[in-house]
Amino acid sequence: MRIRFLGGTGEVGRSAILVEGGGARVLLDYGVMLDDEPGFPMHVPPRELDAIVITHAHLDHSGAAPVFYIGRGVPIYATALTFELTELLLRDFINLSGYYIPFEFLELQNMLSRATYLPYGKPLRIKGMTIKLLRAGHIPGSAQVLVEADGKRLLYTGDINPVDTRLLKGADLDYGELDAIIIESTYADQDHPNRLEVERELVSRIEEVIEAGGTVLVPAFAVARAQEVACILTAHGFPYDVVMDGMARRVNLIFMNHLYELRDPDLFMSAMDDILLVVKRRDRKRFVKRPCVIISPAGMLKGGPAAYYAMRLAGSSKNAIFLVSYQIPGTPGYELLENKIYVVNGKVQEVKAQVERFDLSSHAGMSDLHSILAKLEGSPRVFVVHGAEGNCERLAMWARDELGLEAIAPEAGSTFSI
Ligand SMILES: [Zn+2]
Ligand SMILES: [Zn+2]
């Protein structure tokens, strides 16, 4: 079996891996690097591919795939939920970044017309290769990919979270004996705090602000994080109004059609019953004046209704903006957290509102990554990807030093045989 890394090496973004074995050539993920100008993985001619498998909807794993559908394209596989979420995110991406990307809605349509839903655990045969999806615990619909060919077994984690969240059960780590693993390393340098304690802290801080007459904004990614926050509030018996706005509302409907994918469908449905949806623009003006919590994209305040709410709420110390995801340096969310300023349309606004961050990550933390590797059966080769600032190398070194495994952080364009 041969593995070629096309992107996502030493960086978080444009994940893309080409696997050859059993006479088949299959691409695992084909994402973009989300920057002011999107970056793409290395190219592969579509005629050389037998199939594409997408682990999950996030654009750093799916966002470049439509480039293969300028012509006839290639069969593409993922869970049904991943396809629905990918369509939503790719439409938004084309709307926002269309000028910079080499495909249009037509190519997205072509791609979806070649889509086959692949349920978890069901073997897919492509020539002499067998592919199986395992639950990844990262976002609803997300999968790890087990590839078997030429008597070898390779596992690609995609983005993985072994810890239970309100939306999902932790990842399935029952791999059996492996010859190689390709593992993400987003948080190879830090552990996440105890999940339940973070939940309690978040809920009680929101309650404090509301009880003192303020309004709380929780900027959250439309896919999964917004719904996770809503479920946390419901699970803790949160007694005040919860408002949801932006693309998160569309994602709610998609999740409702795939309730069986969620860890606790009853909790999710009662969270959905508990929220007030923003229907008209003028609702926004009404909600910012009232003690409540507003959950809205974008998670780093780069646009979306959250940008409007932040502008309206930032000026008063009664209000709060509680961030619930990692903030990339340079984003308005990062400036808010680090420098207590809010930059909108180039104008700098002083922030009096309370600003805090709560770690509700959906990626494995350092110890989680270590224990995934420590529990592996066989003595697989380890390829570490999807990490910035030395995290790939850091995890590879740990696997070499602590477990005696042959482990590396590959470079883009490098090829390995196992
Ligand atoms: Zn992801
Ligand atoms: Zn990712």
Distance between CA 157 and CA 165 in Å, rounded? Answer: 18
Q: What is the 3-state secondary structure (H, E, C) of 72-139?
A: CCCCEEECHHHHHHHHHHHHHHHHHHHHHCCCCHHHHHHHHHCEEECCCCCCEEECCEEEEEEECCCC
> Count of CB atoms within 10 A of residue 99's CB?
6
> Count of CB atoms within 10 A of residue 401's CB?
10
Note the pLDDT of residue 289.
Answer: 94
Among the bound ligands, the one closest to the CA of 388: 2
CA angle 26, 381, 29 (to 5 degrees): 30
Distance between CA 104 and CA 66 in Å, rounded? Answer: 8
Note the pLDDT of residue 259.
Answer: 97
Among the bound ligands, the one closest to the CA of 185: 2
Helix (H, G, I), strand (E, B) or coil at 245: coil
Helix, strand and coil percent figures for the chain, each rounded to 5:
35, 25, 45
User: Would you say how long the chain is, in residues?
Assistant: 418
Distance between CA 269 and CA 28 in Å, rounded? Answer: 33
Note the pLDDT of residue 344.
Answer: 80
| Span from the CA of 115 to the centroid of ligand 2 (angstroms) | 21
Note the pLDDT of residue 343.
Answer: 87
Name the one residue in this structure whose structure tokens are 């973070």: 198
| Span from the CA of 317 to the centroid of ligand 1 (angstroms) | 34
| Span from the CA of 273 to the centroid of ligand 2 (angstroms) | 30
Note the pLDDT of residue 234.
Answer: 98
| Span from the CA of 62 to the centroid of ligand 1 (angstroms) | 10
Note the pLDDT of residue 181.
Answer: 98
Domains annotated for the chain, with CATH where assigned, are 2-190+362-417 (3.60.15.10), 195-357 (3.40.50.10890)
Counting as low any pLDDT under 70, the low residues of the chain are none
Distance between CA 71 and CA 114 in Å, rounded? Answer: 12
The pTM for the full model equals 0.96
Helix (H, G, I), strand (E, B) or coil at 204: helix
Give Cα 104 distance to the centre of its chain. Answer: 23
pLDDT, tens digit, 9 for 90 and up, residues 369-390:
999 999 999 999 999 999 999 9
| Span from the CA of 286 to the centroid of ligand 2 (angstroms) | 36
| Span from the CA of 209 to the centroid of ligand 2 (angstroms) | 33
| Nearest-10 crossing angle of helices 225-235, 195-211 | 80
| Span from the CA of 161 to the centroid of ligand 1 (angstroms) | 10
| Span from the CA of 369 to the centroid of ligand 2 (angstroms) | 15
Name the one residue in this structure whose structure tokens are 């990614």: 221
| Span from the CA of 304 to the centroid of ligand 2 (angstroms) | 21
| Span from the CA of 138 to the centroid of ligand 1 (angstroms) | 7
Note the pLDDT of residue 99.
Answer: 85
Give Cα 44 distance to the centre of its chain. Answer: 24
Q: How far is CA 38 from CA 14, 30, 227, 279, in A?
A: 9, 13, 27, 32
Token pair for 171: 């990842």
| Span from the CA of 113 to the centroid of ligand 1 (angstroms) | 24
| Span from the CA of 386 to the centroid of ligand 2 (angstroms) | 7
The contacts of residue 365 (CB under 8 Å, 6+ apart) are 187, 190, 191, 192
Q: Which residues surround ligand 2, an ion (CB under 5 A)?
A: 60, 159
Among the bound ligands, the one closest to the CA of 187: 2
